[in-house]
Amino acid sequence: MDALLTALADPARWRLVSLLAERPRSVGVLARLAGARQPQTTKHLQTLERAGVVISQRAGQHRVYALRPAPLRDLAAALGRLADTADQAGGPRETYDRYGLSLHAERLAAKEPGWADDRSFRFLRSLAARPEPVWRHLTETSLLARWWTPDDLRVSELVFEARPGGRIVHEYRDAEDTDGSGPVAGRAEGVVDDVRPGERLAYRLSPLLPGGGPAFTAHLDLGLRPTGTGTDLEVHFRIADSTVDSADFVAGIEIGFGQSLDKLAAILAADSGDTGDTGDTDNTGHDTDARSTK
């Protein structure tokens, strides 16, 4: 495939392929139609033949070349699969496009300090676990690190002191930066405001700008309500102290935090299925220094 792509990348060779798609032709005819010298045309045809896209045979005084359709069909199928992968509904490319639209709108809106103050987001997830294991996943770093991140990031540092006045540190990197050699993708710091085990958790969290200052302050209020099948988790996310430079962060809140909560729901559902109950299991065997959010 690499040889084929290299051969087709040259405009002169692509012109020859187009001419041969119409009918087999001799070197002389191809050179004349392509407006090229015959020695150059011969070299291009030899490259295409080595790549397997054309064949040739001698007919009297001439060498006649013909196109082999199969490699082109294989290439077309491979390109189609790549396009289908990128175009899958709900996939990373769709998320990328959604974020791009949001980013454009938020940058236009970010004209002065306080531009996004009192903007709020509400998230609701019905979780397949009782309030007790849900609470642990919200407050214990080993469990929190499993889900508190959008799909394309991982936690590289996490501190969450689940008590009023407790400290929060949340650093994250690209999900594929497994050895930590790349730059830090982001960092947030905050403080816990209210802790009512199994019922309510409230905290403030500020994503930091590259210079170290806060982009804005997020006030998060998480409420847990037991249901017949598990727990309803409702999250209120309110923005305060927004800076002009916070637009890129604000643009990702709905997508990023939503992805994080979807991960939490999937983890609790899987744990519930593994144990045959409502997810009241001890999952402290996971790396405390794992994966992240925005």
Task: Dump pLDDT digits (tens) for 214-240.
Answer: 999 999 999 999 999 999 999 999 999
CA 131 to chain centre: 30
Closest CA to 239 of 110, 71, 50: 110
Provide the 8-state DSSP code for 208. Answer: B
Which are the contacts of 149, defined by CB distance < 8 A and separation ≥ 6?
155, 172, 175, 259, 260, 263, 291, 292, 293, 294
Q: What is the pLDDT of residues 249-258, one digit of tens each?
A: 999 999 999 9
pLDDT at 279 over 60: no
Give the pLDDT score at 276: 52
Closest CA to 168 of 197, 137, 144, 134: 144
Give the pLDDT score at 233: 98
Q: What domains can be seen in the chain, in order of their start residue? A: 2-86 (1.10.10.10), 113-275 (3.30.530.20)
Question: Long-range contacts of range 198-205, CB-CB < 8 Å, 24 or more positions apart?
Answer: 198/131, 198/132, 198/135, 198/224, 199/131, 199/223, 199/224, 200/224, 201/135, 201/138, 201/139, 201/162, 203/168, 205/168, 205/170
Averaged pLDDT for residues 239-248: 97
Give dist(CA 94, CA 80) in Å, integer: 17
Give the chain's end-to-end CA distance (angstroms, integer): 40
**What is the residue type of 260?**
S
pLDDT at 188 over 90: yes
| C-alpha radius of gyration, the chain, whole number | 29
Q: What is the pLDDT of residues 193-214, one digit of tens each?
A: 999 999 999 999 999 999 999 9
Give dist(CA 27, CA 23) in Å, integer: 13
Which are the contacts of 220, defined by CB distance < 8 A and separation ≥ 6?
202, 203, 204, 205, 235, 236, 237, 238
User: Is 223 in a helix, a strand, or coil?
Assistant: strand
Give dist(CA 186, CA 209) in Å, integer: 8
Give the pLDDT score at 274: 67
pLDDT at 141 over 70: yes
